[in-house]
Amino acid sequence: MTLTPSTDRTLVQAEQARHQGRLSESERLYDSVVNALAEAADTDEDLCRVLHGFALTLYGLERYAEGEYHLRRALTGRGKALGPSASETIDTLARLAEAIGEQGRWIEAHALAREAFRLGLSALGADHDVTRGALLASAWVTVSSGTPHADILARAVVMALDGSTHSASARNLLVVALRKSGQYEEGERVARETLVMREEQLGPEHPHTLLLRSDLALTLHAAGRTTEALTLAEESLAAGERALGPHAPCTARLRKARQTIAA
């Protein structure tokens, strides 16, 4: 099945809205495209592309179980049509690992992320963007699941992904790992450096930028600099409410961080 010109325009708009952090708008647009492709076979690449992108939007909205459902459909379809070693299939597998990890199923998430990275290395090479994305997914699972000494892996991943499209995300992950391991001074330095990157790439009010500012505030709080941390957290929350709305998942996370610091 080929996308009609109208549906293709809607898909482009959905992808643009997702990249710009307008997730509620992206969800609405993706939903209309999914409905338009309701009769397509699961092996249709247009449908798989839509399901993959829709899942990423739902991930941003913290609706991880729904995202997992769409990713599993896309993974099955791409596996059948393109094979398990295709870049599209591997990318979907890595994103599935993240969605499962967000639901606390760490053993399953670890296995899927490692398999995505293994397939990427074997089929695509270490320098392929999809392989690098799988490496980042594996590191995210390791850090988020509370694995001891995860900061060592996070540093290695930052070096491996330096200069790639995943560089800022890898550095943000390192900030979290450093805070968890009590290395607050380095965590602050990395966070401030990465904030410059995020603001240049995405703007000061993009969800990724705001959440990094929140991570910086939590790092300052953990280091005992509560007044400075609270000011930053309140500024980030105000920016999130203004740019994203008071009920957006990102705003809720900013609010929770502010409450943690204030308490």
Res 133: pLDDT: 98
Res 260: pLDDT: 97
**What domains can you pick out in the chain, each with its CATH number?**
7-83 (1.25.40), 163-263 (1.25.40.10)
Res 203: pLDDT: 95
pTM of the model as a whole: 0.94
In this predicted structure, the answer to whether residue 2 has a pLDDT above a threshold of 80 is no
Task: Convert the pLDDT of each residue in 216-258 to its tens digit.
Answer: 999 999 999 999 999 999 999 999 999 999 999 999 999 999 9
Task: Convert the pLDDT of each residue in 44-60 to its tens digit.
Answer: 999 999 999 999 999 99
Res 69: pLDDT: 98
In this predicted structure, the answer to whether residue 1 has a pLDDT above a threshold of 80 is no
In this predicted structure, the answer to whether residue 207 has a pLDDT above a threshold of 70 is yes
Task: Convert the pLDDT of each residue in 108-134 to its tens digit.
Answer: 999 999 999 999 999 999 999 999 999
In this predicted structure, the answer to whether residue 153 has a pLDDT above a threshold of 80 is yes
Three-state SS for the chain is CCCCHHHHHHHHHHHHHHHCCCHHHHHHHHHHHHHHCCCCCCCCHHHHHHHHHHHHHHHHCCCHHHHHHHHHHHHHHHHHHCCCCCHHHHHHHHHHHHHHHHCCCHHHHHHHHHHHHHHHHHHCCCCCHHHHHHHHHHHHHHHHCCCCCHHHHHHHHHHHHCCCCCHHHHHHHHHHHHHHCCCHHHHHHHHHHHHHHHHHHHCCCCHHHHHHHHHHHHHHHHCCCHHHHHHHHHHHHHHHHHHHCCCCHHHHHHHHHHHHHHC
- pLDDT > 70 fraction of the chain, expressed in percent and rounded: 100
Q: Bigger pLDDT: 94 or 39?
A: 94
